[in-house]
Structure 1
Amino acid sequence: MAEAHQAVAFQFTITPEGIDLQLSYQALNQIYLSGVRSWKKRVSRVRNSLIKGVYPASPSSWLFVAIGILATMYMQSDPSMGLITKIQQHLPLRYTTAMSVGQTMVSALVFSTLLWLSLILALRFCLKLLLSYHQWMFEKHGRISNTTKVWVPLVRLLSSRKPLLYSYQSSLPHLPVPAIQDTVSRYLESVRPLLTDLEFKRMTDLANEFESNLGNRLQRYLKLKALWATNYVSDWWEEYVYLRSRGPIMVNSNYYGMDFLYVTPTSVQAARAGNTITALLLYRRKVNREELKPVRLHTFLQIGKIMRWRNVNTCHDVLQHWLDSEFVAVYHRGRYFRLWVYRAGRLLSPREIEYQIQRILDDPSPALPGEEKLGALTAGDRIPWAQMRKQYFSSGVNKRSLDAIERAAFFVTLDDEEQGMRGDDPEGNLDSYAKSLLHGKCYDRWFDKSFSVVIYKNGKSGLNAEHSWADAPTVAHLWEYTLATDAFQLGYTEDGHCKGEVEPSLPQPQRLVWNIPAEAQVSSSLAVAQALADDVDCHVFPFREFGKGRIKKCRISPDAFIQISLQLAYYRDRSGFCLTYEASMTRLFREGRTETVRSCSNESCAFIKALESGETEEECRRLFQLASEKHQNLYRMAMTGAGIDRHLFCLYVVSKYLGVESPFLKEVLSEPWRLSTSQTPVQQMNLFDLKNHPDFISLGGGFGPVADDGYGVSYIIVGEDMVNFHVSSKYSCSQTVSNVSVSWSSETSHTVCSIQHATITQALSSMFLSAF
C-alpha cells in the first residue's frame, strides 16, 4: 500500500476535530522538479529566440547604441536630426521639468531601439546578399577572383559572432526559380547520351513545344509562389513525394544507418541500449538549446542547418511534432513498452536506463493476441493502415497505446538476433545486417516513427529512418554524435555495463495494452511487406585498396571519381548507360532539402567508351579530366539552385493544379532512375580519433533500389584510405545482382559481371590507372 499512497500528492479525512490533511512530500517534490525543468526550457527557448532574432548583432549591442545616443545628446548634439523631439511630442505628461527630462530620456531610448532594429535589418540584408553570392564555388583552386577575395572577409566579419543552430535561417536567400529555357536546355543535354538520334529529336520537339507554350504559363505561377513562400520546392516535395505516396514506405522510402564496422563497444544488449538512448537524448537537448554548430562550408562559410526533432506519424499522411517527450517506446519479443527516461525532471543515467531495459528483457509475459505483428501495419500499403487506424485505433485502450508509441521521443527495438561483421562469413553477414536494418521482420520496427533504433542481442546497433522529416545528412549527423558519445564519452565498465548508479525506486517500464479484435488482421499488410522485403538484395562491402587520399593526389574530386566509377561498372554490367541520380543538398538556401545531380553526362560517357575501346592512356586521362570537371560543375549548379529536376517537378505540380496535361513533363517525370546513388557525408570528424582508434570506422548506411530493374548505391568516404559501399537491387529482376557473383565462361572466356564488389573494384582500379 505504500506505493499506492505515494501515487497521490495529498489525501484528507474528516474527523470530529476537523479536516486531517495528509501530504505526500515525495510526489509534490517530483511535481516541483518537473515544473522547474519545464520552465527552464521555456526560458531557454525565449533566450534563443531573442539571440536568433537579432543575429548577426547581439542583444547587448542595444546597450552600446543607447549609450552612444545619450552621450551625443549630453554633448548638445542631436544625432536623430529631430526625430527624438518628434517622439517626445507624442508622449503624454509634459507638465514639470523632471517629467520633461524623463520624457527626453524615454524618447532617446525609443529612438535608440528603432535605430538598433534598423541596423539589424541592414546587417541581415547585407548578410543575405553575401550568402547569395555563389560564384566562389565555380572558381578553380588557386584562381580566386578579386570579387571572392573581397567577399570572404566580409562574410567572416558579419558572421564573426558565434551563431546558434538556427541563427542563419533568416539570412539565407530564397531558392531562385531558374529560367525555363535554361532548365529545358540542361535537361536535353543530360539525356543526350542516353537517346538515339531519332529519340533525341523527338524529345527536343516536345521540349521546344513545352517551352514556347504551356511552360511559360506554368512558370508564372511558380514565380508567384516563390515570391510568397520561403522555398518554392520543399513543401510540395515533402507532400507529394513522401506523404501522398500510397505504397509501403519500408524499403521504398525509409533508409538505414549502421554501427561501427570492426568494433562493438559492448556485447551487453541492455548496456548498449542504455548508452545509445542517453546519447540520442543528449543530442535532442543540444538541438532544443541550439548548441549544435551550424554546418561549416569550405572552412569560412557557416550555413544554418535545417534540423527538426520530429516524432513522425505518416498514417494520416501528415507530420506530427511533439516537444519534450519524456519517454521512448520499446519493442521486444512481440510486446510494446513505454519507458520513462526522465524522473523528477532529471534524465536517467545510462546505468539506470540499462537497468530498465534489462527489466524488459527479463519480462516473461507473452504478447497479447494480435500484438506481436502489429508493426506490419506501418510496413505495408498506406490505405489499409489508415482504414485499420480509423476503425480500431481511434478510441479506447488501443488509441492510448498507439498515442504512447507516436508521442514517444523515438522507437527502440530490442532485437533477438545477432548481426555485424562476424562468424566464418563476415562480409556475407554484413549483407544480412543491412537487410535487417532496412526491413527487419517487417513487423518489429515502427516505420512511421522519425527513426527506430535497433539494438541487437550481441550489442550491435543501427537505425531505420523515415524519410519525409529529414534527409540522410541530418540523420547521419545525429548518428555520428550518438556513436561517438556512446563509445568515447559515456563509455562502459570493464564488464561491459553502463557507468553510473541506479536509483532503486525506479518504476517498472509500462507495458502497453491492446485489444485487437480477431477480425482486425494484419496479415494482408504483412504479406505485402514480406514480399517486398524478400525481393530486396543487399550487399555491403568496404573498399580498402585506396581512398580519397590517393584520389586527391590526382587533383580530382573523390565524389566525381566514384560517380564515374559507378557508371563504368554499370556500363560493363549492362553494355550501356542509364539515367543516374545523385543526391545533392540545397542548404545554401532557406528550407533547402535536396536536388538531383544527373551524373551521367556526355563527358563521362565519352571517357568510358574510350577506356573500354582501348584508347591511349593520354587520351583517357584527358577525357577523364573533362568528365570529372563536368561532374563537379553539375554538382555545384545543383547546390546553387540551377538544378533540373526540382524545377520540372514543381512545374508538373502546377500543371496538375491547373488541370492541363504536358506530354513533355509527363515523360520526364516517368523516366526510371536505374542507378540511384547518394554519398553519406562524414560531418563531424572531430568526434572520432581515427589515429588512436583506427578501428572505430563508420559503415555508413544505405537504401533500397528506386527502379525495379535498377540499383541503389550508397557510399561513405571514411578517412583517407577507405570507401564503404551499400548496393541494393531486386531479386525479381534477372539483370541485377547486388552480391558478389562473378562467373567465368571457359568456352568464351567472357566475364559476366554485375554491379557488385568485383565490378566496382575493377572499375575503381581502372579509373585509378587512367587518372595517373
Structure 2
Amino acid sequence: YFGAAVAASAAFYSKFSDRGLLQMLPLLGNNALPKSARIGVASILTAYLPVVFSRFILTHFYFTYKRWLFENPKKPSLTTKLWGIVRFLLSFAPPIQKSCDSLLPTMPVPVIEETVKKYLESIRQLHSKEELVAIEQKAEDFLHGEARKLQRYTLLYSLFVDNYVTGFWEKYAYLSTRSPLLINSSVCNLDQFRNSPATQAFRAAHIAYIEMLSQLAVDKQHLVPPGGGMVCTRHYDRLYAVTRVPGKNVDWLKNYGIARHIAVFYNGGIYKVNVVDENNTIYSVDQIADIFIELLNRPNTKVDGAEGKIPALTHDARPNWHANRRRFFENIPQNAKALREIERAAFIISLNSFDDWEYDQSDPDKLSRFGRSSLTGEGADRWVDKSINYNISRNGGCSGTEEHSVVDGSE
C-alpha cells in the first residue's frame, strides 16, 4: 500500500508540479534540487505523513484510552463515544496478528514512593507489629538511599524498550531459578469437563493436527489478535519448537522456528513422528491417527531401566540437568543428535497409561487425580524444558504441561 501511495503521488506531482507539498514547502518549490528529486521527496512525504498521523492517533488516543472501563456503559462521555466511533471504523479493516504490537503503549514507570507505600499496605496483614516496624524502617532507608538512582536508571531504560519489566522479570524470576521446574514453576491445564468419545490414538492425532495448524497460523500471522489488537501477541512466537536450555547459572530460551515433526513418549520410548509430508502438507487426522494406532499396537515396546526414564533428567535442579546434559548428550554425538530432535520438535505428546482422566460429579477425587497426574505424569514422561507437553490418557482424556517462562513476561 505504501509503495502504491508513493507511485500515485509521484504521478500526481509529475503532472501538477505546482501543487501540494511542492508549493507548500519552499525547499521543494525552488530549483535547488533537480525536479525528479523534488518529486521523489514530495511523494514520499505525501504517502508517509498520513501514516505517521494515523499511528500517532492510534497510539496516543485509541490504544491508551482506558476511561471507558470506569464509565457507565449507558451514559458514556463524549470522549468515549469518539473512541467507540474509531473502534467501529477500525472494525472494517481488522488487524492481523502482530500489526498492533508496536502501537500499544509502553509500560509506565510508577512513582517509587507510591510503589513502596502499596508494598507496605500489601504485607500489613502478614507480619506482626514489631516486624512491620523493622520493614518500614528498611523501606525508609531504601527511599533515602539507592531508590532515587534506581528510579532514574529505570526511567532512562524505559525510553528505549516497550516493556522495561520484561528482561528483568524473565531472567531473574524464571530463567535464573536453579530449582527443579516441574514442581516449582511448570503449569498444567486440564481437559474440558465432559467425556471425550475419542480413543487415545485419535485424541492424540486430533491434538497434533490442530496444534500444527496453529503453528502454521502463528508463522503466517493468521491468528486474530485478542481484544481487537489491544493485547500484545509476542508470546505466540514462543509456543512451538521452543526449548528452555539449562545453563550453569542462568537458562536461555531457544526457538527452532517452524517444525515438521513432534516427539512422542510412549512406554519409556521416545519417538520422532513426522506430521508433514514432503510437499509441506500437514497430514490429515486419520493419517496421524494411523501412526499412533500402529505405535500403540506394537508388541514389546516397553523400555525398562534408566533408558526408559531419560525425560526424568529434565526434572532435576537446573545445575544438575546442565551438567548431565553436557555429560550424557552434548559430548556424545549420537545422543546429541537425538537431543536436537527432541528440542526441535514442535511439541511433545505423551501417551500414558492413566485410564480415569475425566470429570465425574459423583467422584470429585477423580478431578484431583486428573490434575495431579497431568502435571507430574508417571514421573518420567515430561520433558519440562519444552514449551508444550500434551498428555493423552487411555480413555481419551487430555491435558497439557507448559514451561512457564515462555509466556510470562514476554510482553
d(CA) in 1 for partners of 2:360, 2:45: 70
Separation of aligned partners in 2, 1:147 and 1:224 = 32
Amino acid in the other structure paired with 1:89: L
Aligned partner of 1:284: which letter? Q
Aligned pair partner of 1:356 in 264, 273, 291:
291
Say if 1:84 and 1:371 are closer, same or farther in 2 by CA, change over 3 A.
farther
1 or 2, which has the higher strand percentage? 1
CA distance in 2, matches of 1:87, 1:384: 73
User: Is 2:397 aligned against 1:397?
Assistant: no
Matched, 1:337 2:271: yes
Query: Higher helix share goes to which structure?
Result: 2
CA contact (8 A) 1:238 1:468 kept: yes
SS in 2 for 1:373: helix
Q: What is the Cα deviation at residue 313 of structure 1?
A: 2.6
1:119 matches 2:50: yes
Partners of 1:302 and 1:86 lie apart in 2 by 45
Give the aligned partner of residue 173 of structure 1: 105
Cα distance change, pair 146–210 in 1 and its aligned pair in 2 (3 A): farther
What's the CA shift for 1:158? Answer: 5.7
Query: Aligned pair in 2 of structure 1 residues 88, 171: CA closer, same or farther (>3 Å)?
Result: farther
Aligned counterparts, 1:376-455, within 5 A: 376-394=312-330, 395-421=332-358, 426-455=363-392
- Once the two structures are superposed, the pairs formed by residues 217-616 of structure 1 within 5 Å of their partners are 217-266=149-198, 268-296=199-227, 302-306=230-234, 307-308=236-237, 309-310=239-240, 311-316=242-247, 317-344=251-278, 345-364=280-299, 365-367=301-303, 370-394=306-330, 395-421=332-358, 426-471=363-408, 592=411
Q: Which amino acid aligns with 2:221?
A: E
Q: Give the 3-state SS of the residue equivalent to 2:322 in structure 1.
A: helix
In structure 2, the gaps of 5 or more residues are none
Q: 1:203 deviation in Å?
A: 3.1
**C-alpha distance 132-423 of structure 1, shift in aligned 2 (>3 A):** closer
The CA deviation string for residues 192-238 of structure 1, in whole angstroms up to 9 with x for no partner, is: 34445554444333322322222112111111211222211111111
Q: Do the aligned residues in 1 keep the contact of 2:389 with 2:400 (CA within 8 Å)? A: yes
Letter in 2 for 1:363: R
Shift of 1:254: 0.7
Counterpart of 2:124 in structure 1 is: 192
Tell me if the contact between 2:5 and 2:47 (Cα under 8 Å) persists in the aligned partners: no
**In 1, are the aligned partners of 2:186 and 2:401 still within 8 Å (CA)?**
yes
> How many aligned residue pairs are there?
398
Give the conservation status (yes or no) of the 8 Å contact 1:165–1:304: no
> Equivalent residue for 1:685?
none
1:330-362 deviations in Å (ceiling 9; x for gaps): 110011110011111211111111111122212
Cα contact 2:189–2:399 (8 A) shared by 1: yes
Q: Structure 1 residues 254, 459: closer, same or farther in 2, change over 3 A? A: same
Q: Is the 8 A contact 1:421 1:427 kept in 2?
A: no
Contact preservation (8 Å) 1:271, 1:354: yes
Q: For structure 1, which runs of at least 5 residues remain unmatched after alignment?
A: 1-58, 91-102, 472-585, 593-772
- TM normalised by structure 2 equals 0.88
Inter-partner Cα distance in structure 2 for 1:323 and 1:73? 46
SS at match of 1:183: helix
Post-superposition CA distance 1:528-555 (Å, at most 9, x none):
xxxxxxxxxxxxxxxxxxxxxxxxxxxx
- Aligned AA for 1:330? V
Q: Distance in 2 between matches of 1:152 and 1:182?
A: 32
Higher relative contact order, chain-length normalized (CA < 8 Å, sep 6+): 2
Give the alignment partner of residue 77 of structure 1, picking from 7, 10, 18. 18
- Is 1:215 the counterpart of 2:151? The answer is no
Distance 1:164 1:366 in 2: 46
User: Is this contact kept in 2: 1:73–1:79, CA < 8 A?
Assistant: no
The CA distance in 1 between the partners of 2:376 and 2:76, in whole Å, is 48
Amino acid at match of 1:285: L
CA deviation digits over 1:33-69, x for unaligned, max 9? xxxxxxxxxxxxxxxxxxxxxxxxxx2x553564356
CA RMSD of aligned residues (A): 2.6
Q: How does 1:91-102 map to 2 (within 5 A)?
A: none
Letter in 1 for 2:268: G
Post-superposition shift, 1:257? 1.1
More moved, 370-379 vs 413-422: 413-422
Deviation at 1:410, TM superposition (A): 0.5
| TM-score computed with the length of structure 1 as normaliser | 0.48
Q: Is the contact between residue 420 and residue 433 of structure 1 (CA under 8 Å) also seen in structure 2? A: yes
Deviations 1:246-292 (A, max 9, x none): 111002111111112122131x2111111110011111111111111
Output one character per residue of 1:282-331: Cα deviation in whole Å (capped at 9) or x when no partner.
1111111111111117xxx7434332234223323110101111000011
Sequence identity (%): 29
Q: Does structure 2 retain, via aligned residues, the 8 Å contact 1:62–1:112?
A: no
Distance 1:118 1:330, change over 3 A: same
Give the conservation status (yes or no) of the 8 Å contact 1:327–1:340.
yes
1:132 corresponds to which of 40, 64, 84: 64
CA distance in 1, matches of 2:57, 2:394: 55
Cα offset for 1:143?
Answer: 4.9
Aligned letter for 1:242? Answer: Y
* Counterpart residue number, 2:95: 163
The answer on whether the counterparts of 1:123 and 1:158 sit within 8 Å (CA) in structure 2 is no
CA deviation after TM superposition for structure 1 residue 379, in Å: 1.1
Letter in structure 2 aligned against 1:149: K
| Separation (CA, whole Å) in 2 of partners of 1:88 and 1:157 | 43
